[in-house]
Amino acid sequence: MEVVYRHLEGVPLTSTYVFEVAGVKVAVDPGPASLHTPLDVDAVLCTHLHLDHCGSAGFYNRVYAHERYVKHLEDPTALFQASRAVLGIFADKFGQPPPASDVRPVSDGMKLFQAIEAIYTPGHAPHHVMYLHRDEKILFVGDGAGVYLPELKAIIPTTPPVFKLDLYMASLEKVKKLDISQLCFPHYSCTRDVELLDIHLRQVETWVDVLREVETVEEGLEKLRRSDENVAKVLELGGLYLEFYLRFSVLGFLDYIRHVRL
C-alpha cells in the first residue's frame, strides 16, 4: 500500500492510502483541493465530505460517498459555504472543491471491489463511512476514531461542530467488534495497535466529564491539559495540531453538551 502525505504550511495534514484490489486501483480520501496532485487511480473512496479529506474528489472519476450526500459532491457550493462558516480561514486554506461528475452512492454494509466493506459510522459527521479491507483486515477509520500523532505518541479527538457524541460512541462500539489487525488514520498514519479504539473511547468519556461544566474553549483546554496527557502534548507543541484539531474538537464537544445539557 502506498501512502501519499499532504502537508499544509509544513505540517502533515492528511494521508491518502492507495492500493489495488480486484484489479482496481483505489485511493482513500484524496485530500483538499488546494493540495491536489494527480493520483493514478481508478476510484476514490470518501470517508466523509469534509474539505481536508475529499475536497479534491472532483478531479477524479468514480467517487464513492455516503448515499444521502452524493449531491454535495456533485455541487459542492453549499458544502463549501457551510465549511467556511465553521472553519473560517481553514476552509479557504483547504480550497473550494470542484464538482464531481461521477459520484456513486455507498450504503452501510455495501461491498466494493469484492473485498471492501463500507461501514456507516456517523458522529463526526452525518455522512461518515469507514472502509474495511476484509482480506488485509485493515480499517480505514476516517475521522471516526480521532487523530493519531505517532511522533507525539498521542491520539486526540477530531470533533468539530456539528458533532454528535451519542452517534460517535455507538460507531466506535460498532467497529470495535470487527476482525481487524490494522488501523489507518488519514491524520496521519497506520498502526497495528488496534487497542487505540478502546483507548480513544475511554478518552472521549473523559472529555465529556471534564467539559461538562466548561464555558469556553480556553477553559476546556486548560482542564483537559491536567486530565489527558495527549492534550498536554499537543498544547506543548502548538501549531496546526492545536489551532485546527484541538481547538475545533473542544468546540464540537462544548456545542454538543450545550445542546443536550448533559
pLDDT at position 11 is 87
163-176 residue pLDDT tens = 999 999 999 999 99
- The count of structural domains within the chain is 1
What's the angle, vertex CA 190, arms to CA 200 and CA 165, rounded to 5? 25
Whether 108 is in a domain gets the answer yes
Per the omega criterion (within 30 degrees of 0), is the bond before 188 cis? yes
> Is 122 contained in some domain?
yes
Using one digit for the tens of pLDDT, what is the confidence trace for 61-114?
A: 999 999 999 999 999 999 999 999 999 999 999 999 999 999 999 999 999 999
Angle ∠(159,48,62) on CA atoms, nearest 5: 170
Q: Please, what is the end-to-end C-alpha distance for the chain in angstroms?
A: 43
pLDDT in tens, 11-53: 889 999 999 999 999 999 999 999 999 999 999 999 999 999 9
Beta-strand relationship, 11-21 and 2-8: antiparallel
Q: What is the arithmetic mean of pLDDT over 115-133?
A: 97
Evaluate whether residue 103 is within a structural domain.
yes
In-domain check, residue 192: yes
Task: Provide the grid cell at 248.
Answer: 475545533
Strand 103-106 to strand 111-112: parallel, antiparallel, or no bridges (unpaired)?
unpaired
Nearest CA to 48 out of 133, 169, 181, 163 is that of: 163
Q: Helices 247-260 & 196-211, crossing angle to 10 degrees?
A: 60
| Residue 161 in domain | yes
Q: Does pLDDT of 260 surpass 90?
A: no
Residue 7: inside a domain: yes
Q: Where are the alpha helices (DSSP H) in the chain?
A: 51-54, 71-74, 77-87, 89-94, 165-176, 196-211, 217-227, 229-237, 240, 247-260
pLDDT at 9: 87
Rounded-to-integer distance, Cα 178 and Cα 175, Å: 5
Give tens-digit pLDDT for 172-203.
999 999 999 999 999 999 999 999 999 999 99
Q: Give the pLDDT score at 261.
A: 66
How far apart are the C-alpha atoms of 238 and 186, rounded to whole Å? 20
Structural domain for 63, as ranges: 2-198
Q: Does residue 262 register a pLDDT over 80?
A: no
Q: Count CA within 13 A, CB hemisphere, residue 79.
A: 26
Q: What is the mean pLDDT of residues 246-252?
A: 96
DSSP state, residue 242:
I
CATH code: domain of residue 181: 3.60.15.10
Is 176 within the bounds of a domain? yes
67 vs 111, 123, 140, 246, CA distance in Å?
14, 16, 18, 30
Strand-pair category, 129-133 with 138-140:
antiparallel
The pLDDT of residue 10 is: 87
Q: Does residue 222 fall inside a structural domain?
A: no
Distance CA(131)–CA(22), nearest Å, equals 15
